[in-house]
Chains A and B, each alone.
Chain A
């Protein structure tokens, strides 16, 4: 009982240690005090009930009661009896705390202040974990399982933190778990009594047993496998590691829970959060030799879900493997498309995302390591692990521009094209359907349809810009926007994307910065320059940007020939953006005429060529792995077949050479007996051995018992007796047995035996007698080969263990402890 009580306290302490990672969330240490109180109460309750030898369920109940009491005491509602006993009022108070904790979690960034709601949920969670750990450890004696609830605590800071957290608190938690395991183990060993060495020396409880060496070895192997496996398996890094690694979500966006991998960033929420900030801060500095750059783009929301548009999980190869060049992919569709190569340099000032902002379409990068990947469909640089924080890099990009005629000439997307499902799905909304129907009647090609929708978002139609609107992009939000006609970039972009998709043309929302604050070639981009726009896919051309947000309201808004500003007077479509915002650089945005630097460039096929074959890369992997697996699986069968062929050839050759020898011997008259030379004898022996080995392998393959204590004769007799040779091969198996025993034990081996035929007939008989499964296994995964391999592996590992053992012994000889200890050698 003493051991158990002790174990209970260890469990409590381990729970507290496991809660250490919570310190990364809180600003102060109030939470720890409260958790300690709660856990202490629980441990006390558990000890008391155990002292009374209450059953496990009673222990659990008492702990829950202790948790309730503790919480009531720490978070009083003022309605308690004697200010301690919880009343229904207390519970309602707890409920409201819980409810507001959900709210607060979303609204406060880390590190958070001491908020009652958050403290309450922390104490509740840690207390719950303490109960479970105690029950698992002491009640059920399964301390290893207690690691799971502890892990639950771990996951909280991991989920909350957007970038890497210090590892120290986690190590503390792990130490707690190890302590728990060790304590339990020592307790277990104590149950056996005291430990002695062979010579009667008392062994300290903490001294490792001889078995510990094996345990250590297993542990090392386990850790190695755990580390190497995720590295070796492609695509696995996007699982666990991406969760543990840093994520996006610029800090202070008001939604601390939204960080994480590129596929999970809530781009819209961050966009509106940043745009609504009162103060302005520099985020990115970019220098480019493009005289009139388009938007610096970093992310795409291309997936339509219940709550509107969101990003898909990007897929792509590390940038270090090179980026696709859109010029390489150009098809026949190149008339009217110009592309120019420029170069740009980016310095991230204050922008933490799992994406790197680039101009479309980057063709080469510098100072971007292999953690960063490029999704050629989304055309984004993303990382599962790293963050864009404080990065400095440069890249070359190919800027593409299109003439309306080229876009108008683009064929319609084939109905079975994968993009149709990916990029044209939207929730059916009647108003939207009607609107799109009205706008696109009589339009003959995709471009005209898109233009009609694009032109719809004009001042003429009553659309205006306002930042302080609800930024949702779900169905109802879009309908509201289309009726109210007031919104900011994300509503414009989302609405246009929606309508274009409704019209059956692939579209998505892109995110980036408009170009502003120019000084010579450098643009300093702030949170106010964050922007969203629409990209539309044209078959054979690629993704083409359209920015439906009123250009006049956006600093650095950029209009193109294919998407001119619908609000502008016909002649000079670019003028209005000059007078945009207070921080606008008049020369930056739309000032430069669109067609200016558009010489006779080659055509640009903005990713059309990339999209179809680059998106789903995984089937290739799957096929490759499958082929590899199949190859690996056939290796044993192949080995078996080769072995059999070799032995059969041997056996056949044996019969023929021996026959020829006898024939030769018959030629000189009077020679009655051919005396074989030693080498011939040896060969005949080896041939018989080969035949016998083949028989034994065949037996193993067909799961017939093989007994190393049995002589060849006895084996053959047994096969005949047990009817395994089905009568037909009785003679054959006896012959093989006879040949083998002669080869092994007699002065002269058997000299003419149709061993090959015998082997064949025995194999046939065995195969006929076996069931289908055995036959299949014998053919595909011959147990004989596997058995040999296993033995070889075992021998190898035994040899290795022996070697390391000797090595350690040699080292131990020089160990100072051994020299000093001077204890009697055993």
Chain B
């Protein structure tokens, strides 16, 4: 595992403390976001997996709210960038300005110099500005005028965006999308949650009363604990099988990158830890396949014509792909033959 530590993470936490800390954050966020436990936990998992989160959904379902609530729950530096068409890359990364007094260039850090960066409506900025995030998201550093500045840990970008089909948007380039660990959709709250929302949020917005329940140091410890989660060889194999399947699928023009494999496993660790386990299950990978992989792959023209979303394609892959090392022991496959007839064998991993 080639994981670079940007600075000391601190020791790991025993499981009960981990649970207490993580549960506190989730509960805190849930005070403002009604009925979205799974989404909230996933967002937290991405934070603990040292990844970046892309929240994509139609307007008005609480994307900004979630991002803000997560940022507020942790006592760390938070910056917010509202992406607009006229936003400049230097607004994001920072700029060197000439200081008259010191007769020298002085670096004025941009919005990314924080633990949590909330990038709202990211696809409203021009691709040029979007690309300013490329280096910092992957390498956690900013290079301006030849000088490289390190970012802090934890560092997480939480971006929100409207679906691509909406008007006045610039779709994120593939390279940019690939840097987001997971893309989650908010979805409409169910009627009960919406009723509760009306009761609680009817008067004033509870986000203003939200107090941080954790700090950067605790989050670093949580991250260290997550890194310690055990991944069996079979699970690693399964992760590789999964991304290989996306690369070999006839429905996909572009499969998932090795970065996706890495982040898939990392997020799976975080999810396992949040569930109180110290080992990753293939179930975790299966649950994460769509949020982690679907936004990185590109369907073929045929699949697009057939209106098959990448979400559907990826989840179908998950349903088809056999677990590794199963065949020697229990070779059965008594599933009814699939309707579309495009044999399941093409999703079988190519192993001898």
Contact = CB atoms under 8 A, between A and B. Distances in A.
B322 A746 contact: no
A744 interface: yes
Interface centre among A714, A742, A745, A791 (most CB of B within 10 A): A745
A747 B235 CA distance: 12
Contacts of B327: 708
A587 B277 CA distance: 112
B283 A707 contact: no
Given A689-B329, A697-B330, A709-B321, A747 B279 contact: yes
A700 B327 CA distance: 14
B281 A741 contact: yes
A811 B321 CA distance: 39
Nearest to A703: B334
Contacts of B335: 705-707
B323 A708 contact: yes
A703 B334 CA distance: 8
A744 B232 contact: yes
B311 interface: no
Q: Interface size class for chain B?
A: 20 to 34
A706 B334 contact: yes
Contacts of B234: 744-745
A217 interface: no
B203 interface: no
Contacts of B326: 708
A4 interface: no
Interface string B284-304: 001000000000000000000
Nearest to A744: B234
A713 interface: yes
B323 to A, nearest CB: 6
Contact of B283 (A689, A697, A714, A747): A714
Given A745-B280, A745-B282, A787-B331, A709 B232 contact: no
A726 interface: no
A705 B281 contact: no
A636 to B, nearest CB: 15
A788 interface: yes
Nearest to B235: A745
Interface string B223-236: 00000001010110
B205 interface: no
A103 interface: no
B218 to A, nearest CB: 25
Interface string B12-35: 000000000000000000000000
Contacts of B330: 692-693, 696-697, 706, 708
Nearest to A745: B232
Contacts of B336: 705
Contacts, number: 71
Contacts of A742: 279
B278 A700 contact: no
Contacts of B318: 709
A682 B286 CA distance: 27
A635 B141 CA distance: 69
B221 interface: no
A204 to B, nearest CB: 32
Interface string A623-649: 000000000000000000000000000
Given A709-B318, A711-B286, A746 B334 contact: no
A745 B286 CA distance: 15
Among A697, A709, A711: residue with most chain B CB under 10 A: A709
Contacts of A707: 333-335
Interface in A27-59: none
B282 A711 contact: yes
Interface string A736-749: 00000110111100
A816 B83 CA distance: 74
Instruction: Tell me the dominant secondary structure on chain B's binding face.
Output: loop
A706 B332 contact: yes
A709 B322 contact: yes
A709 B323 contact: yes
B332 A746 contact: no
B319 interface: yes
Contacts of B36: none
A388 interface: no
B320 interface: yes
B329 A747 contact: no
A55 to B, nearest CB: 38
Contact of A705 (B280, B321, B334): B334
Nearest to B318: A709
A330 interface: no
A791 B335 CA distance: 16
Nearest to B326: A708
A529 interface: no
Interface string A669-703: 00000000000000000000100110011001001
A528 interface: no
A706 B331 CA distance: 10
Contacts of B331: 787-788, 791
Nearest to A788: B331
A59 B230 CA distance: 80
Contacts of A788: 331
Q: Identify which of A696, A704, A711, A791 gathers the most chain B CB atoms within 10 Å of its CB.
A: A711
A576 B280 CA distance: 112
A237 B277 CA distance: 71
Interface in A746-762: 746-747
A91 B330 CA distance: 74
B332 A700 contact: yes
Interface of A: 689, 692-693, 696-697, 700, 703-711, 713-714, 741-742, 744-747, 784, 787-788, 791
> Nearest 8 pairs between A and B by C-beta?
A708-B322, A746-B279, A696-B330, A706-B332, A745-B232, A711-B282, A706-B334, A747-B230
Interface of B: 230, 232, 234-235, 277-283, 286, 318-323, 326-327, 329-336
21 contacts: A692-B330, A697-B330, A705-B335, A706-B330, A706-B332, A707-B333, A708-B327, A708-B330, A708-B333, A710-B323, A711-B282, A745-B280, A745-B281, A746-B230, A746-B277, A746-B279, A747-B230, A747-B278, A784-B332, A788-B331, A791-B331
Given A696-B330, A745-B280, 8 more contacts: A706-B334, A707-B334, A708-B327, A709-B319, A709-B321, A709-B322, A744-B234, A745-B279
